[in-house]
Amino acid sequence: MKRWLIVGVGLLLLWPASLVQAAPPLQEGAGRAEPDNEFCLRCHSNPQLTTHFANGDVLPLHVDADTYESSVHGREDVQCVGCHADITGFPHPPLAASDRRDYQLDRYRSCQGCHPKQYEQTLDSMHARALAAGNEEAAICTDCHGAHDVRPPDAPRERISFTCAQCHAAIFDVYRNSVHGAALLEGNPDVPTCIDCHGVHSIADPTTVQARLRSPRICGDCHADAELMDKYGISTDVFDTYLADFHGSTVQIIEKVSPDQASNKAVCYDCHGVHDIRPADDPQSQVMKGNLLKTCRKCHPDATSDFPNAWMSHYRASPDQYSLKWAVDWFYRLLIPGLVGFFVAFVALDVGRRTLNRWRRGGEA
Ligand code: HEC
Ligand code: HEC
Ligand code: HEC
Ligand code: HEC
Ligand code: HEC
Ligand code: HEC
Ligand code: HEC
Ligand code: HEC
Ligand code: HEC
């Protein structure tokens, strides 16, 4: 019996798939508790094995055993049927999908079984919304991770941005020339990849009012981190000074008090750009001296050439920078405690004097 089976399978391997479909049902694997990978690969390691969708498109059925075995799943000994739970033997249930994309959109749901957290997170993402709206190009698990060749998605770290680049090529091309992207591609682990700003599985709409108001905190996560920024000689004052000035303080208040209210006050990316952030002294930087007025004019259309000078940028007032403001600050810093101290002393002396007088008068009586 066993010998016949082997001969039968051998014959099947030689036959074109179309003939296999027409062949009489061979209840192979049916008696087993769960067919193992070796069983599946007996047929699917054949590079010639293919089938057709209803529309005539070919679906290659070859699965490379080595590729699978070196994937995260192969290494963890995940079985083919861990994902292909509907296939219990041969013949398989008929192919329901109408074309390749339809097939992928159906199959990727099998990831849910072992990765329910990631699956749930994707349900409300921008990609899921685009998909629901009929855009079949929106990313599903297998577009970003693959199916049989899943590898650690963040090793090396720049792999993450290449994953997004498959479909967001125009943005990636801008990003790769930015201060962050250029550093990432040189192996710098400290700069943001796409997902540090957007998230991964639960990518939200980055253009909402809430996202705008929250955005300075994303930059602040790194740019207010003194240890990190010291490595690059970049000032961490940028975050504090932003929050202290008229743009940032309002954005911060709005975020706390009425997070849905639109704000036209500048956030970091209005001045620095989004995917094209450059070093502040780069000729293409939007905040470089020569380009700064144009940047301010986006919102202050009547600004004249000395307008940017009326603003302290990210600088704290010091004897060298904005010395007048520095002097005024210190004047008040000294004057107010001085005045308060003077009055406290005055009142204390007065009270002391009165108490002493009363006590003396009491002694005389
Ligand atoms: C005897 C040979 C043979 C064995 C063993 C076999 N397959 Fe197949 N498989 C085929 C052929 C032929 C097709 C083409 C479509 C069809 O006939 O159903 C196919 C199609 C498929 C497809 C694509 C169509 C679909 O239904 O999604 C998948 C996935 C698949 N096989 C997975 C498996 C898995 C998993 C195993 C092990 C449990 C397995 N196969 C065992 C021959 C085999
Ligand atoms: C981690 C889940 C997972 C595992 C494990 C897995 N598959 Fe698949 N397989 C898929 C998905 C998802 C598809 C749908 C095609 C796609 O998205 O590229 C697929 C498609 C297929 C196809 C159709 C042809 C193709 O490549 O699209 C065959 C045949 C197949 N798998 C066989 C196997 C065999 C044999 C094994 C075990 C060696 C296996 N699969 C293990 C998820 C898996
Ligand atoms: C039968 C269970 C099972 C299914 C179904 C499954 N996986 Fe996995 N997956 C695992 C196991 C086990 C690991 C390795 C341990 C871990 O990192 O969680 C893993 C690891 C991963 C990793 C790597 C995680 C890391 O930190 O490097 C990714 C990515 C991944 N799976 C994606 C998928 C995708 C995409 C699908 C659907 C096509 C899928 N998995 C279906 C069991 C499964
Ligand atoms: C838009 C691309 C994209 C899609 C869609 C996507 N992933 Fe991921 N996934 C990634 C990236 C990038 C990482 C690495 C995250 C990191 O390093 O923080 C990742 C990480 C993971 C991990 C490792 C653990 C973790 O959460 O960091 C698993 C498991 C995983 N994904 C499974 C899935 C599953 C299952 C789906 C579908 C429900 C899915 N992914 C959809 C890009 C994607
Ligand atoms: C398989 C293709 C594909 C991949 C891979 C992909 N995306 Fe997308 N993404 C899309 C499509 C399609 C849309 C919907 C576009 C639209 O509606 O204009 C979209 C939408 C988005 C949006 C919302 C756009 C908007 O206009 O509001 C963001 C943000 C986004 N993707 C980020 C990412 C990130 C980050 C990654 C990598 C982790 C990634 N995408 C990977 C195809 C992809
Ligand atoms: C430093 C943070 C940051 C990084 C890194 C980043 N983004 Fe964005 N992205 C944003 C912000 C903020 C917006 C919203 C801009 C707006 O409202 O004009 C945005 C908007 C988007 C949009 C939708 C609007 C558009 O321009 O089409 C997509 C898609 C997108 N990003 C994808 C990506 C991809 C892909 C990468 C990696 C190559 C990436 N982003 C890297 C912060 C970032
Ligand atoms: C994950 C951490 C991280 C996040 C998030 C981040 N940055 Fe950066 N940024 C860096 C690092 C690290 C450098 C230095 C890179 C280098 O010089 O190689 C840098 C460099 C810069 C520079 C160039 C400074 C100079 O003149 O040399 C600017 C401007 C900048 N970032 C603005 C922003 C803005 C605006 C945001 C938010 C939209 C942001 N960054 C988000 C880590 C981050
Ligand atoms: C109103 C416009 C504006 C806003 C808003 C703004 N910046 Fe700047 N930023 C500038 C200008 C102008 C410079 C150049 C200062 C100089 O070198 O004279 C600069 C410089 C920088 C530098 C380089 C500092 C250095 O040490 O080289 C970083 C980093 C930076 N900004 C990050 C941020 C972050 C993070 C935010 C939000 C929290 C932000 N900026 C908000 C205009 C702005
Ligand atoms: C995204 C829009 C936007 C950008 C870009 C922007 N600002 Fe503003 N700025 C505002 C808004 C809104 C106010 C509040 C105006 C009001 O309250 O009437 C404001 C207020 C100010 C004020 C307070 C005085 C006044 O006119 O009310 C100064 C000074 C100022 N901005 C300087 C700058 C400078 C310098 C730049 C360029 C480096 C700049 N702004 C870029 C939106 C912006």
In the reported structure, the alpha carbon of residue 36 is separated from the centroid of ligand 3 by a whole-number distance in angstroms of 18
Say how many residues make up the chain. Answer: 365
The predicted-structure confidence for 64-104, as pLDDT tens digits, reads as follows: 999 999 999 999 999 999 999 999 999 999 999 999 999 99
Which residues 6+ apart lie within 8 Å of 248 measured at CB?
Answer: 216, 241, 242, 265
22: tokens are 């027409």
How does residue 202 score in pLDDT terms, banded at 50, 70 and 90? very high
* Residue 285 resides in a domain: no
Locate 82 and state its tokens.
Answer: 């861990």
CA of 20 to the centre of ligand 4 (A): 37
Establish if 128 belongs to a structural domain: no
Cα(138) to centroid(ligand 5), Å = 6
- Give 19's pLDDT tier (boundaries 50, 70, 90): very low
| Closest listed residue to residue 185, CA positions, set 215, 213, 158, 216 | 158
**Pocket lining for ligand 4, CB < 6 angstroms:** 111, 115, 118-119, 122, 127, 139-141, 144-145, 153-154, 160, 163, 195, 200-201
pLDDT tens digits along 293-351: 999 999 999 999 888 887 767 876 666 666 666 666 666 677 777 778 888 888 888 88
269, amino acid identity: Y
Q: Is the CB of residue 40 below 6 angstroms from any atom belonging to ligand 5?
A: no
Q: For the residues 135-157, what does the mean pLDDT come to?
A: 97
If you average pLDDT over residues 204-220, what whole number do you get?
94
**Percent share of the chain, pLDDT over 70:** 85
Residue 214 has pLDDT above 80, yes or no: yes
In a domain, 130, yes or no: no
Could you give the percent of the chain with pLDDT greater than 90? Answer: 63
Task: Return the residue whose CA atom lies nearest to atom 20 of ligand 6.
Answer: 206
CA–CA–CA angle 297, 300, 304 (5° rounding): 70
pLDDT band at 364 (very low <50, low <70, confident <90, very high): low
Counting ligands in written order, the one closest to the CA of 269 is: 7
> Residue 276: CB within 6 Å of ligand 1?
no
- The verdict on whether omega for the bond into residue 153 sits within 30 degrees of 0, i.e. cis, is no
Peptide bond into 337 cis (omega under 30): no
Ligand 4 atom closest to 122 (CA): 38
Pick the ligand that lies closest to the CA of residue 153: 4
Beta-carbon count within 10 A of 321 CB: 12
In a domain, 82, yes or no: yes
Is pLDDT at 16 greater than 60 in this prediction? Answer: no
Range of the domain at 104: 1-110
Cβ(292) to ligand 5 under 6 A?
Answer: no
Q: What is the pLDDT of residues 25-56, one digit of tens each?
A: 344 544 556 899 999 999 999 999 999 998 89
Indicate whether residue 166 lines ligand 5 (CB < 6 A).
yes
- Overall number of domains in the chain: 1
Buried b (16+ CB within 10 A) or exposed e, 74-99: beeebebbebeeeeebbeeeeeebee
Q: Are 126 and 203 in contact (CB under 8 A)?
A: yes
Ligand 2 center–CA 239 separation, angstroms:
48
Q: How confident is the model at residue 165 (pLDDT cuts 50, 70, 90)?
A: very high
Domain-embedded: residue 15: yes
Alpha carbon distance, N-terminus to C-terminus of the chain: 130
pLDDT of residue 344: 86
| Residue 199: CB atoms within 10 Å | 14
Mean pLDDT (whole number) for 137-154: 98
User: Rounded to two decimals, what is the model's pTM?
Assistant: 0.89
Q: Comparing 128-137, 148-157, 201-210, 263-272, which segment has the lowest mean pLDDT?
A: 263-272
Structural domain contains residue 329? no
Averaged pLDDT of the chain: 87
Q: Is the CB of 175 under 6 A from ligand 1?
A: no
Q: Check: CB of residue 241 under 8 Å from CB of residue 312.
A: yes
pLDDT band with cut points at 50, 70 and 90 for residue 7:
very low
Can you give the pLDDT at residue 20? 41
| Ligand 8 contact, 223 CB (< 6 A) | yes
Q: Tell me, rounded to whole angstroms, the distance of Cα 201 from its chain centroid.
A: 9
Tell me how crowded residue 190 is: count the other CB atoms within 10 A of its CB. Answer: 13
Distance, CA of 270 to chain centre = 19
Q: Calculate mean pLDDT across residues 356-363.
A: 81
pLDDT-based confidence at residue 246 (cuts at 50, 70, 90): confident
Whether residue 250 lies inside any domain: the answer is no
State both tokens at 137. 């190009």
Within a domain: 97: yes
Residue 11: predicted pLDDT = 41
Nearest atom of ligand 4 to the alpha carbon of 121: 38
Q: Is 296 in the pocket of ligand 9 (CB under 6 A)?
A: yes
Query: How far is the centre of ligand 7, averaged over its atoms, from the C-alpha of 281 (Å)?
Result: 13
Is 268's pLDDT higher than 80? yes
What Cα–Cα distance (Å) separates residue 225 from each residue in 184, 194, 243, 270?
Answer: 18, 20, 15, 22
